[in-house]
Amino acid sequence: MGLALTVISCAQLMIILDATIVNVALPTIHRSLHFSPTNLEWLITAYSLTFGGLLLFGGRTGDLYGKRRMFMTGISIFAISSLLGGFATNDVWLIITRGLQGVGGAIAAPTALSLIATNFAEGSERNRAMGVYAAMSGGGGAVGLLLGGLLTSYVSWRWVFFVNVPIALVVLVLTPRALNESPVTSGHLDVPGALSATGGMLALVYGLSNASSHSWTSTSTLVSLAAAAVLLATFVLIETRTVGPLMPLIIFRNRNRSGSYAVMLCIGIALFSLFYFLTQYLQNVLGWSPIRTGVGFLPMTAGIVVAATVSSRIIGRVGVRLPLLVGPAGVTIGLLWLSRITTSSTYLDLISPLVIIALGMGFAFVPLTLSAVAGVEPNQAGLASALLNTMQQIGGALGLAVLATVAIDATKSKLASLRSVSRAAVNEATTHGYTTAFLVGAGISLLGLVIALVVIRANPLAVPGREGESEVTATL
């Protein structure tokens, strides 16, 4: 069983670290492939959209065609797209491969988690496996930041993609020997639903991003937003009429659950925008190296892990209401603080708001998960929790599109007012763009706090047990 756990953990680590490893390399990739500011955000957005948009679809393929088979399929897609990304010679090439990485991750991630249930016996064995899996999920972000800094500084930015290939090959070779195949079930694969949802989100994000390089009234922007509206409306129609929908809309009828999804959407916007803009501020304005940038984010990663651990322990005594409010409040305060940075700020000016944001995020994750799965039928618990992850990814993609547009417009406006193109003026205008984005992000996080306060009611939340486990009840 040790080999099985190693295979699953390595796959999960690879998928999770890829969400952060590219962030540190963004400024270097920007210069190397001559990305425009608008296209640069798509290195994050393309991965987030396909990963989040196809996550439910990927889990469903494992049920229908075998979890081990689809796990290997997802890892293969991830490895091939990573290899192609490392060889990219232009921005479009790299963006496409990032989207394909998200497709592979969306298939591999949910099937990896499911394989724990099919390969480890219920009880201490499965609990230990879940603990290692959770550690990989929590530590993957930190590993990605450090590894991204090391590879970019001492080898090449291309190795933030190439590094996935040997890991994936080891996983693919060992999987047939280490993991048992799961029984398949009969059912319907909602391909139209998956395509319309993901296509609609891609069109929406493209339209929002396009507004910064053209205008809100340009033909390309209006066509993209119109296509997004049609595709997303089509998705809703499909989900109400198809047999075996990808996302049964009935799951949103619970007020607490819908509120939790909305709060996670806001938190996702804050998390993705923070990494994106602060990484570029540290390297482009303060002149930090990629490895120093990666190390600089470590206190934030540690803060999230510590706060999540504390939150999970105190919920049994104080309920989920308090941490559910403290979380978004901490994120809001931290982003407001960051909106005051200048071109002469030091790391000491950043560490306090970073830690506050990290603690807020850590306190929010556990109660949001409990609220999302409370009261659902046992056969829908996986769907409810997967939707929470989807909301985080989609929120990050949408938020980055909006906030990048805000930052670019603010930068242009500030540069025009300075009437100079000197390096100092460009840095001042760029920093103004970043701080404006942080300020808007704080407003969105504040909206999440209001939703948590107003929408989520103080009712007992029953978390359904799995396979005979006793039911856990948390009171708001």
Tell me which DSSP letter residue 249 carries.
G
Fold held by 251-476 = Growth Hormone; Chain: A; (1.20.1250)
- Topology of the domain comprising 1-184: Growth Hormone; Chain: A; (1.20.1250)
CB 5 within 8 A of CB 130: no
H or E element: which one contains 328? helix 321-338
* C-beta separation of 285 from 427 below 8 A: yes
pLDDT for 468: 36
Direct distance between the N- and C-terminal alpha carbons of the chain, in angstroms, rounded to an integer: 38
pLDDT of residue 123: 65
DSSP β-bridge partners for residue 474: 461
Consecutive sets of 10 residues in the chain, 476 residues long: mean pLDDT of each? Answer: 81 81 90 87 88 84 85 95 96 94 90 75 68 65 82 93 94 89 75 89 85 78 92 92 83 87 90 88 93 89 83 79 89 95 94 93 83 70 74 85 90 91 92 96 94 77 40 36
Task: Compute, in degrees rounded to 10, the torsion defined by CA atoms 11, 467, 308, 305.
Answer: -30
pLDDT of residue 126: 67
CA distances from 376 to 38, 318, 385, 461 (A): 41, 23, 10, 10
Which letter does DSSP use for residue 86 in this model?
Answer: H
